[in-house]
Amino acid sequence: MSLNEFRSFTPVTTANLLLGLTLPLGEYDPQNLTNLGANRYAFRLGLPIICPQEQFSGRTTTLEVVPNLHIFTENRETGLQQEPICTLEGHITQDFTAHFWGSFGFLWARGGETRLNGLLQNGSQRSLWLATALNYEFSPRWALNFRYGETVAQNEFGLDGSLYHLKLVTRF
């Protein structure tokens, strides 16, 4: 697409395919409670759907929905097996100016029951996370991004906590 074609392009609703693979790299010691590596493969299959719309003052509002399935292989060193985890992620993003946007989003997760050497360990997750973000581009190459998120509902094995995230972004 040429620069002029890109400038005049009107985004349309799209559905994409998301594939992810996490390799069992890093150090793993079954005697440690915390490990950087999980000693197993993890696969992610998703279907991001993006629906741009012009809503307020001619600025773009974008609706995004991403259903995901996370699949795990067995950790052969410990005998840990985990059922798949289904997640649904969604965002609504609004451009306030040409350089400033904000968003609100959610992440719902369910599944992931574990077994250790074939014995059920429970651990099925259920959680709902809400988040908001603001982004300001103060030059063509630099932007500042702030995000806040918090778990609003979960069972004892679900995601829990809150996050403040400040990021300086550059483009090459």
Instruction: Note the pLDDT tens digit of each residue in 28-62.
Output: 777 887 777 778 999 999 999 999 987 666 788 99
* pLDDT (0 to 100) of residue 48: 97
**Residue 140 covered by a domain:** yes
Answer whether residue 121 is part of any domain.
Answer: yes
pLDDT 10s digits, 75-90: 888 888 999 999 999 9
Structural domain includes residue 6:
no
Q: Is residue 28 part of a domain?
A: yes
Q: If 0-12 CB within 10 Å is exposed, 13-18 middle and 19+ buried, where does residue 15 land?
A: exposed
Query: Could you say which residues of the chain have pLDDT below 70?
Result: 55-57
Domain tally, the chain: 1
In a domain, 1, yes or no: no
Could you tell me where the beta strands, DSSP code E, fall in 28-170?
Answer: 42-46, 49-56, 59-72, 80-82, 85-95, 100-111, 114-116, 119-120, 125-137, 142-154, 162-170
Residue 22 lies in a domain: yes
Q: What is the model's pLDDT at position 55?
A: 66
Residue 2 lies in a domain: no
The model carries a pTM of 0.82
Predicted confidence at residue 107, as pLDDT, reads 96
User: What's the pLDDT at 56?
Assistant: 63
Confidence at residue 147, expressed as pLDDT on a 0 to 100 scale: 96
Residue 4 lies in a domain: no
Domain region containing 137: 11-170
- Write out the two tokens for 4: 């002029």
Predicted confidence at residue 117, as pLDDT, reads 86
